[in-house]
């Protein structure tokens, strides 16, 4: 490819980008942002994306068959799995204006995942035990109604993904396939250049199971995930599901003090409150009121300094979706404005979920359920009964202990590159998809689903492999193998020589990006080359004479070789 | 590929399908319908789709660069081109439930075409005259809010498409590129096996221009389009834009009769009415009331037997979008219930567009603008003034004349396989995208856009190439080249032989689908083979001995050849 003809050349930009990958990929001309979380892949970027997806495709073809499902699905299918009204990243389509409305008013679901399509599909074609197991995958664009999108390609509203679904006649067969996909995934990440830094991590299994799913996480400073590592067990947890015990707080005081309601108008956050009351933050309590998808209103509390883990809370409260209660409901439940909820004086029949971090404290603070008031010197057993059960509903943080081993977790930043989910019969049951066994009887079908975000991987690779000058692509995913640079191109003999090198490399079916620009300085060309990050830089100039200067992007030294030798 | 392992095998189905392509592609296991106009591509279908798209890609790479734009776009971009509130197939996205709404309430446009993305993209990267012309294309899924979807892959709500956009610094340069794409397109259709039956056709240039666009139409009995051919000029028009003159109706009567209002309760359609009044349908008049996007209410009339062409009417009325007026507005304008509108006694300031077919009649009928009443023996000049101008706002039909040559059109059915649009500065102006010329001045940029529906082509190919037994794929797009059938597979020596043939063909990198099913009868295997339609059928059985029986799908005779000769 002649760089002079390429659409999307490297550019200087003083724009503020939300991440290293967004900055480098946009400055180097790989992608262009259409809006937050939505990008166009320019010619260079599309080459990288295709290479990533082809590696995934080659490995997937060993364990499944490729199909291509649509993005639109009838709402009915999502009703059938009870996800229509609960999945909070779900988008629908609707006519965009009154003329469109007059033509067709129906709304559809824009799939973020395809269980609602693949299960009915399997049901139409495969029913006999003889045709199991089978596994179908696709590579395509997915849509998520993300509230905050950031970090370039790491989190998008529209993104590329491979999703695989497997169907089995027994749990054992499913589990053995599940293990096989783990190997397959690790193989993919190895080929993508991420092998040695990618680990298998326990993550949320979703609202319908107590089981974990497995994520593949690549260690990465810019990663949006935090891993919690239990060294003695060699287990990594994703922060979102890390079982956690708060480190105990030592108190000198032994005596319960007199409970008091303190007036603190407009003081709401626990940090501000601790300061105002002149107590350690660990003595404060954060209480929040939630509404569940099945119409309940519940309260949940953690020790100051912690946040509530909605995923853990959802499991504790056995519901499918949660959101913070409306102002109206908060008032109704607590009798106070938002911000003054606490765990004392609540209605007896209210469900309250209290984190274990809230216990074992003396003379602690909690909202007074009275506008502008906070109760201090609160004690279990005296001011409120000790709850029947303490939960683990907090988001784990640095310093927390693993409840099983008592070890303090080691933590590290990482970025998710894939995940696999045991679905068991959750979706096949929803569609009443059964198989006919040898004995003629209908039996349940076990399922797994397995995702890899190919566009996200492109972002992770850039986050992992770059220096202050630009990207350093691993060879298997680089847009081209060689970046050929002609300098002194106004000199006819040099120009002829470099064009000949280009021609010969092309004849050898080598992937070459050839910077043939005549009016651009050597300095700018070198800077662009480093920014774009192709593995091998080849320079032909007056100085290189009959030879070609070869330098690897990630090395400092170069050598002069002849064209014959290069070939 | 072993057929025993393939997902999506041929199946018997007594279902009613909406078209030949839907029936054959679904029975043969190429596609599966998720809902009307929305399909999953099964492994066989995806292979065909990929082959079609790769042929398109190879030809496009000669005249443009491949990129990949997103499906989601901010509404603002569609406001800027004034298409947000006028394009009647436009879909938007919205959060699907209250939990999603709480996370992110923003709505986006789901692109049916990408001018709103590609123009701002060009604007970010290419501004200097030196870098023009440039052309960008992509192949991806598109979304249209189609009211009626039918004909299998011929018309979808979600479908695959290649779209190319070119940018030029002069009309001349644009026009020369436009001609180049015509060649490129004809080349693509040739490679797809559609060459000799595909012609270039004049079609609508859109609401913003009087120019025609060009469609590529393949003659096809099942085609949804009708072409109107002017033999002397070798011009094909798409029915939707065919300029038409109605054949004159001869009347014996010369004398104007007395106008009368006839009571005909509930008689609305012109056919029923003609019968009721015992007059030829040509004496009736169809009058409809429309609302325009710019807030006007207008009337339009054609002779009975014709329909109003909204596209022509839109141009005549100089508006961007039209819809039938609400009941309320019809009543307000005509003073009558819907169904009794006519061209007499209308308010003087109402805009009325009357087709030329309405003229040159004597004693004709028109709605009385009075509920349940029809006026007969109406005459221009006496009962209403002769309009200043007659329009051509009708949908052309068989027997119509070309207004220029006076020839009766030849008509034929066809199916659209591609279209190219001159956009000129319509979209670059919307975004104020200009280039800096040699002289340092800003000047307008000329654009074209060029589409090919790859999934639709798959449907057209099946409509064109099939017989009563199944599909007959052209070689370049067939899912496999060879369909190898093993019969008598319980016989060990036959089984070994056919597996050897499969192995040898695979080693030769031949594309082979191998029907290795042991328990399926020869009859069923042959039927499946014919249904699937792979070009070469190879049979190995007891009967074929050392040889292989080779038969082309579209021929009746077969020959016996040795494996060596086949290879």
Q: What is the pLDDT of residues A285-327, one digit of tens each?
A: 999 999 999 999 999 999 999 999 999 999 999 998 899 999 9
Cβ <8 Å between A145 and B95: yes
pLDDT in tens, B105-142: 999 999 999 999 999 999 999 999 999 999 999 999 99
Q: Using 50, 70 and 90 to split pLDDT, how confident is the model at B150?
A: confident
Cβ <8 Å between B70 and A34: yes
Which of A217, A124, A212, A112 lies closest to A167, judged by CA? A124
Give A-chain residues touching B147 at CB under 8 angstroms. Answer: 103-104
Between CA B7 and CA A64 the distance in angstroms is: 10
Min Cα distance A457 → chain B (Å) is: 17
Q: Using 50, 70 and 90 to split pLDDT, how confident is the model at B207?
A: low
Strand order in the sheet with A108-110: A72-74, A108-110, A91-95, B91-95, B108-110, B72-74
Closest Cβ opposite residue A40 in set B41, B67, B157:
B67
Cβ <8 Å between B93 and A34: no
Does a cis peptide bond (omega within 30 degrees of 0) precede residue B133? yes
Q: Using 50, 70 and 90 to split pLDDT, how confident is the model at A181?
A: very high
Residues 6+ apart with CB under 8 A from A316: A353, A391, A393
- Residue B149 has a pLDDT of 83
Closest Cβ opposite residue B71 in set A69, A136, A141:
A141
Cβ <8 Å between A71 and B34: no
Sign, CA dihedral A359-A363-A364-A365, equals positive
Between CA A368 and CA A341 the distance in angstroms is: 6
B18 or A483: which leads in pLDDT: A483
Min Cα distance B453 → chain A (Å) is: 16
- Residue A147 has a pLDDT of 87
Between CA A345 and CA A553 the distance in angstroms is: 66
> Quick one: average pLDDT of A129-137?
97
Identify whether the C-beta of residue A154 lies closer than 8 Å to the C-beta of residue A420.
no
> With the CA atoms of A51, A52, A54 and A56 taken in that order, what torsion angle do they form, in degrees rounded to the nearest 10?
160
Closest Cβ opposite residue B100 in set A68, A88, A104:
A88
- Residue A553 has a pLDDT of 96
Give B-chain residues touching A8 at CB under 8 angstroms. Answer: 67, 125
Min Cα distance B295 → chain A (Å) is: 13
Between CA A359 and CA A381 the distance in angstroms is: 11
Min Cα distance B257 → chain A (Å) is: 42
Cβ neighbours of B556 (radius 10 Å): 6
Identify whether the C-beta of residue B163 lies closer than 8 Å to the C-beta of residue B114.
yes
- Residue B208 has a pLDDT of 61
Give A-chain residues touching B126 at CB under 8 angstroms. Answer: 7
Q: Pick the residue of B145, B157, B167 with the most A CBs within 10 A to test the interface with A by mutation.
A: B145
What's the token pair of residue A227?
Answer: 């891993």
The CA-based diameter of chain B, rounded to the nearest angstrom, is 94
Provide the mean pLDDT of chain A. 95
Min Cα distance A103 → chain B (Å) is: 5
pLDDT greater than 90 at residue B266: no
Which of B400, B398, B401 lies closest to B411, judged by CA? B398
Cβ <8 Å between B86 and A104: no
> Quick one: average pLDDT of A441-449?
97
ipTM here: 0.88
DSSP assignment, residue B293?
Answer: T
Between CA B526 and CA B531 the distance in angstroms is: 9
Please give the class, per CATH, of domain B15-68+114-243+411-463.
alpha beta
Cβ <8 Å between B121 and A32: yes
3-state secondary structure (DSSP) of residue A333: helix
Identify whether the C-beta of residue A247 lies closer than 8 Å to the C-beta of residue A357.
no
Cβ <8 Å between B100 and A121: no
- Residue A207 has a pLDDT of 64
Give A-chain residues touching B157 at CB under 8 angstroms. Answer: 72, 108
Give B-chain residues touching A13 at CB under 8 angstroms. Answer: none
Cβ neighbours of B421 (radius 10 Å): 25
Q: Which residue of A has its CA nearest to B69?
A: A40
Q: Pick the residue of A4, A6, A7, A314 with the most B CBs within 10 A to test the interface with B by mutation.
A: A7
Sign, CA dihedral B218-B219-B222-B226, equals positive
CATH architecture assigned to B480-566:
3-Layer(aba) Sandwich (3.40)
Give B-chain residues touching A117 at CB under 8 angstroms. Answer: 34, 40
Q: Which residue of B has its CA nearest to A93?
A: B93
Cβ <8 Å between B7 and A125: yes
Between CA A170 and CA A17 the distance in angstroms is: 49
> Quick one: average pLDDT of A111-130?
96
Q: Which residue of B has its CA nearest to A112?
A: B96
Q: Using 50, 70 and 90 to split pLDDT, how confident is the model at A117?
A: very high
Min Cα distance A120 → chain B (Å) is: 9
- Residue A253 has a pLDDT of 86
Cβ <8 Å between A293 and B110: no
CATH architecture assigned to A46-223+415-463:
2-Layer Sandwich (3.30)
What's the token pair of residue A525?
Answer: 């060309």
Min Cα distance B562 → chain A (Å) is: 32
- Residue B205 has a pLDDT of 82
Min Cα distance A507 → chain B (Å) is: 18
Between CA B544 and CA A540 the distance in angstroms is: 63
Closest Cβ opposite residue A72 in set B97, B98, B157:
B157
Considering just the CA atoms, what is the radius of gyration of chain B in Å?
29
- Residue A20 has a pLDDT of 95
pLDDT in tens, A334-348: 999 999 999 998 888
Task: Tell me how far the alpha carbon of residue B408 is from its chain's centroid.
Answer: 25
Cβ <8 Å between B71 and A67: no
Min Cα distance A547 → chain B (Å) is: 32
Cβ <8 Å between A141 and B140: yes
Cβ neighbours of B530 (radius 10 Å): 20
Between CA A406 and CA A409 the distance in angstroms is: 9
pLDDT greater than 90 at residue B320: no
Check: CATH 3.40.50.1370 for A260-378?
Answer: no
Entry pTM: 0.88
Cβ <8 Å between A121 and B32: yes
- Residue B8 has a pLDDT of 95
Q: Using 50, 70 and 90 to split pLDDT, how confident is the model at B566?
A: confident
Between CA A44 and CA A28 the distance in angstroms is: 9
Cβ neighbours of A516 (radius 10 Å): 19
Interface A-B, measured as beta-carbon pairs within 8 A, has a size of 221
pLDDT greater than 90 at residue A150: no
Cβ <8 Å between B96 and A84: yes
Cβ <8 Å between A43 and B65: yes
Cβ <8 Å between A46 and B38: no
Identify whether the C-beta of residue A390 lies closer than 8 Å to the C-beta of residue A367.
no
Min Cα distance B67 → chain A (Å) is: 5
Closest Cβ opposite residue A72 in set B89, B98, B158:
B158
Min Cα distance B205 → chain A (Å) is: 20
Provide the mean pLDDT of chain B. 95
Q: Which residue of A has its CA nearest to B10?
A: A125
- Phi/psi at B110 (5° precision): -105, 105
Cα within 13 Å of Cα(B456), Cβ side:
30
Give A-chain residues touching B89 at CB under 8 angstroms. Answer: 100, 103
What's the token pair of residue A155?
Answer: 């989190």
Cβ <8 Å between B7 and A69: no
pLDDT in tens, B482-539: 999 999 999 999 999 999 999 999 999 999 999 999 999 999 999 999 999 999 999 9
- Residue A254 has a pLDDT of 86
Between CA A106 and CA A94 the distance in angstroms is: 7
- Residue B329 has a pLDDT of 93
Cβ <8 Å between A65 and B134: no
Give B-chain residues touching A84 at CB under 8 angstroms. Answer: 96-97
Cβ <8 Å between B94 and A91: yes
Between CA A197 and CA A219 the distance in angstroms is: 6
Q: Can you name the residues that pair with B510 across neighbouring β-strands?
A: none
Which of B417, B486, B487 lies closest to B191, judged by CA? B417
Share of chain A above pLDDT 70, in %: 99
What's the token pair of residue A131?
Answer: 């045709």
- Residue B125 has a pLDDT of 94
Q: What are the domain boundaries of chain A? A: 46-223+415-463, 260-378, 480-566
Give A-chain residues touching B45 at CB under 8 angstroms. Answer: 68
Closest Cβ opposite residue B99 in set A88, A91, A92:
A88
pLDDT greater than 70 at residue A123: yes
Cβ <8 Å between B93 and A90: no
Q: Using 50, 70 and 90 to split pLDDT, how confident is the model at A208?
A: low
Min Cα distance A128 → chain B (Å) is: 13
Min Cα distance A263 → chain B (Å) is: 32
Cβ <8 Å between B97 and A90: yes
Identify whether the C-beta of residue B75 lies closer than 8 Å to the C-beta of residue B109.
yes
């Amino acid at each position: 490819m002649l760089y002079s003809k390429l659409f999307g050349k490297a550019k200087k930009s003083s724009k503020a980008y939300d991440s290293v990958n967004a900055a480098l990929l946009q400055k180097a001309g790989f992608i262009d942002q259409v809006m937050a979380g939505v990008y166009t892949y320019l010619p260079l970027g599309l080459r990288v994306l295709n290479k990533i997806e082809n590696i995934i495709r080659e490995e997937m073809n060993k364990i499944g068959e490729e199909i291509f499902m649509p993005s639109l699905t009838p709402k009915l299918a999502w009703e059938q799995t009870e996800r229509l009204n609960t999945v909070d990243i779900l988008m629908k389509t609707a006519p965009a204006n009154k003329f469109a409305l007059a033509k067709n008013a129906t709304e559809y679901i824009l799939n973020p995942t395809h269980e609602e399509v693949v299960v009915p599909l399997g049901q139409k074609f495969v029913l006999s035990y003889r045709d199991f197991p089978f596994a179908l995958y696709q590579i395509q664009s997915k849509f998520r109604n993300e509230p905050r999108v950031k970090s370039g390609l790491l989190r998008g509203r529209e993104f590329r993904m491979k999703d695989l679904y497997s169907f089995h006649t027994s749990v054992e067969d499913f589990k053995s396939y599940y293990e096989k996909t783990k190997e397959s995934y690790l193989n993919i990440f190895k080929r993508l250049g991420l092998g040695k830094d990618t680990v298998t991590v326990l993550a949320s299994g979703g609202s319908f199971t107590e089981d974990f799913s497995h994520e593949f996480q690549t260690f990465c400073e810019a990663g949006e995930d935090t891993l919690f590592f239990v060294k003695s067990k060699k287990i990594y947890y994703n922060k979102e599901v890390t079982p956690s015990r708060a480190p105990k707080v030592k108190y000198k005081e032994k005596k319960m003090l007199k409970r008091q309601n303190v007036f603190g108008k407009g003081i709401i956050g626990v940090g501000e409150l601790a300061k105002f009351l002149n107590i350690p933050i660990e003595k404060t309590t954060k209480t929040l009121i939630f509404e569940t998808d099945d119409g309940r209103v519940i309260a949940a509390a953690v020790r100051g300094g912690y946040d509530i883990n909605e995923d853990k809370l959802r499991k504790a409260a056995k519901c499918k979706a949660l959101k913070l209660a409306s102002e109206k409901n908060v008032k109704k439940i607590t009798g106070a404005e938002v911000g003054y909820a606490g765990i004392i004086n609540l209605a007896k029949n209210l469900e309250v979920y209290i984190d274990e971090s809230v216990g074992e404290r003396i003379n602690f603070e909690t909202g007074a359920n009275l506008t502008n008031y906070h109760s201090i010197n609160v004690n279990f057993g005296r001011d409120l009964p000790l709850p029947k059960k303490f939960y683990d509903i907090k988001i784990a943080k640095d310093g927390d202990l693993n409840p099983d081993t008592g070890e303090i977790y080691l933590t590290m930043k990482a970025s998710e590159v894939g995940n696999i989910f045991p679905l068991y019969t959750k979706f096949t049951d929803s569609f009443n998809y059964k198989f006919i066994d040898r004995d003629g009887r209908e039996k349940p079908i076990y399922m797994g689903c397995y995702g890899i975000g190919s566009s996200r991987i492109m972002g992770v690779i850039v986050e992992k492999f770059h220096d202050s000058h630009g990207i350093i692509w691993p060879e298997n995913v680089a847009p081209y193998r060689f970046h050929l640079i002609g300098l002194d191109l106004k000199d006819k003999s040099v120009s002829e020589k470099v064009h000949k090198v280009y021609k010969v490399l092309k004849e050898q079916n080598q992937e070459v990006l050839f910077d043939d620009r005549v009016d651009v300085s050597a300095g700018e060309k070198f800077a662009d080359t480093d920014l774009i990050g192709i593995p091998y830089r080849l320079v032909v100039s007056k100085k290189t004479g009959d030879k070609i200067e070869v330098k690897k992007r990630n090395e400092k030294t170069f050598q002069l070789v002849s064209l014959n030798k290069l070939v």
